[in-house]
Amino acid sequence: MDDLGFGVYGELHFSGKVTPIVGYTINLMGGSGSVGGRGGGFGFEDAIVSFDFDKLFNVWIGQQLVPVDRTNFSGPFFLIPWNYPGVYGAGGAFSLVMPIEPVAGRDLGTVVWGDYDEGKFKYYLGAFADDPGKTVLFSGRLSTAPIGKDGGLWGNSTYYGSQNLLAFGVGAQYASKGSIQPGAMAGDPPADTDAYTEINADVVGELKVGDGALTGELAYYHFGGDFNATGVRDMTPNPAKDAFFVLGAYLSPPVGPGALQPHVRYQMATGDNDLSMSMIDVGVNYILKGPQMKVNLTYTHTDMDADLIGNALSFGVQTIMF
């Protein structure tokens, strides 16, 4: 294997209501490792003041998840694979092929959102600017679940066979100067910029099969902008114009105190100058209690080009206590 590393990551979550309408959420994160290649260290993850006027109309202000795709709402802990999609790394090269999602998928801004009939239809519209010198990012999403319930602000990529589910979503982002000249950093001469655009679509389905379940997920992303970086909030290059991933998983009937969940995910990103990157994850989870307790073993093969090929074996243990 090409990659070997160890890390510990944890979060502390606090939330409550000041009045029946006004609430707060404070989430802290920290550790010696990263989550799916997306950071580490210690600091605020969420710091939100929420105004929940009605299930159909809520206003949340502060550092919070950027509403754009199901994956960012699921986060690394409510996905089936261990690794967050769109994180390509091999031979020392590193690219994030995903919408603008700064630290841990969060940014500082305001989100207006609503939920009709426990996820039968949900809408989100957000505006983000964590620094007066940065262009405003507009990010939104629409989703519907004709089969099953997919309610609340957050999203899941699996319900571990508790229901049959079919859910669709579309999202988009725009920042007037969000596509920035590669290599430009703070303090450099002004860089050339272009409008950044992103559109995506996703579908997830889960079917109960006896005491187990079959899960499938597909997502597609298209990025626009002359320089096609992930935007002024994240200088890690995103050289892709189009990307997708497809996933299949099976949750077995009980095996001892838990259940096995083998899964396969294939990702691909393409762009200008014959760019083509791919990655495949083949893994198995041992599910003791949904996302609250699981163990994972995954083999990952990444192909960034003929000279940049990576292989990694990862083992992880996840526990969520709430």
Task: Give a three-class secondary structure readout of 1-18.
Answer: CCECCCCCEEEEEEEEEC
The token duo for 20 is 């029946």
Q: What does the pLDDT look like over 236-287, one tens digit per residue?
A: 567 789 999 999 999 999 999 999 999 999 999 998 878 899 999 999 999 9
Predicted confidence (pLDDT) at residue 93 exceeds the cutoff of 50:
yes
pLDDT digits (tens, 9 = 90+) for 289-305: 999 999 999 999 999 98
Please name which of 317, 312, 165, 157 lies closest in space to residue 246, comparing C-alpha atoms. 157
**pTM assigned to the model:** 0.89
β-partners of residue 240 are: none
Q: What is the structure's pLDDT at 184?
A: 56
Highest mean pLDDT of the ranges 30-39, 76-85, 163-172: 163-172
Break the chain into its structural domains and give their ranges: 55-319
How does residue 108 score in pLDDT terms, banded at 50, 70 and 90?
A: very high
DSSP string, 175-223: EEEEEE-TT--TTSSPPPEEEEEEEEEEEEEEEEETTEEEEEEEEEEEE
Q: What is the pLDDT of residue 12?
A: 85
Please give the structure tokens belonging to residue 269: 């990103």
Q: Which of 2-11, 135-144, 175-184 has the lowest mean pLDDT?
A: 2-11
- Sequence length of the chain is 322
Hey, is 282 helix, strand or coil?
A: strand
CATH of 55-319 among 3.30.1330.30, 3.40.50.300, 2.40.160.10, 3.40.50.150: 2.40.160.10
pLDDT of 231: 44
For the chain, where are the E strands, in sequence order? 9-17, 22-31, 41-54, 57-65, 87-90, 93-96, 106-116, 121-128, 137-147, 165-180, 193-209, 212-224, 242-251, 254-255, 258-270, 276-289, 293-305, 308-319
